[in-house]
Amino acid sequence: MLLSAVDLMRERGAAGVTIDAVLARSGAPRGSVYHHFPGGRAELVADALDFAGESITALVEGASGDGAVAALHRFSAFWVAVLRGSDFAAGCPVVSVAVGGSSDEEHLRPVVAHTMRRWREVLAAGMVADGFEPPAAESLATMAIASIEGAIILCRVERSVEPLDQVVGHLEALVAAASPV
């Protein structure tokens, strides 16, 4: 059910994550929702958002030990797989909540903020390990996350991974040009 909720969030935003949609996608019986998520839809959406954010953070964190460029490539490869695997119907579940704007999603804003902050911290840590000064690493990581998330939107609209490839290529060049090593 959690994975189904994440998929729905990627495709439709948090507003599109309904109990009925999760049950239809997962094939789970109705009673299992309230057993595993006694808080109902609100708990299911919050848990799905947290799960998605932590999973993506772990992916970037795992690659950041190999340097900033490796982390950018792993992040990009993940999104290429998601985009192609969904026929460009799925984007970032965290961004979908960030831009959703529904008043019943306000309680999710701190989770979104924490997740985005963690992505920047993890990527910046990889850059610091590459020899960047912390302020430069933090700034470049912020630009990288913003650029990649924007590219994901363009990929969905254009039904092509070319915008993401272009953005990652430019980010790689920026990292190389700014690298103190």
Q: What is the pLDDT of residues 115-153, one digit of tens each?
A: 999 999 988 988 898 889 999 999 999 999 999 999 999
How many domains in the chain?
1
Residue 91 covered by a domain? yes
Q: Are the CB atoms for 144 and 123 separated by under 8 Å? A: yes
Angle at which helix 93-100 crosses helix 134-158, to 10 degrees, equals 90
Residue 111 covered by a domain? yes
Q: Which domain holds residue 126?
A: 48-178
Residue 119 covered by a domain? yes
Residue 3 covered by a domain? no
Task: Tell me the pTM.
Answer: 0.86
101 — pLDDT class (breaks 50, 70, 90)? low
Query: In the chain, what percentage of residues exceed pLDDT 90?
Result: 59
Round the average pLDDT of the chain to a whole number and report it: 90
What tokens does 40 get? 């109902």
Q: Are the CB atoms for 119 and 58 separated by under 8 Å? A: no
Count of C-beta atoms within a 10 Å radius of residue 40 = 11
pLDDT value of position 151: 97
Residue 29 covered by a domain? no
Q: Are the CB atoms for 85 and 77 separated by under 8 Å? A: no
Residue 43 covered by a domain? no
Average pLDDT over residues 157-175: 95
Average pLDDT over residues 36-49: 90
Q: Over the stretch 11-24, which tens digit does the pLDDT of each residue have?
A: 988 888 999 999 99
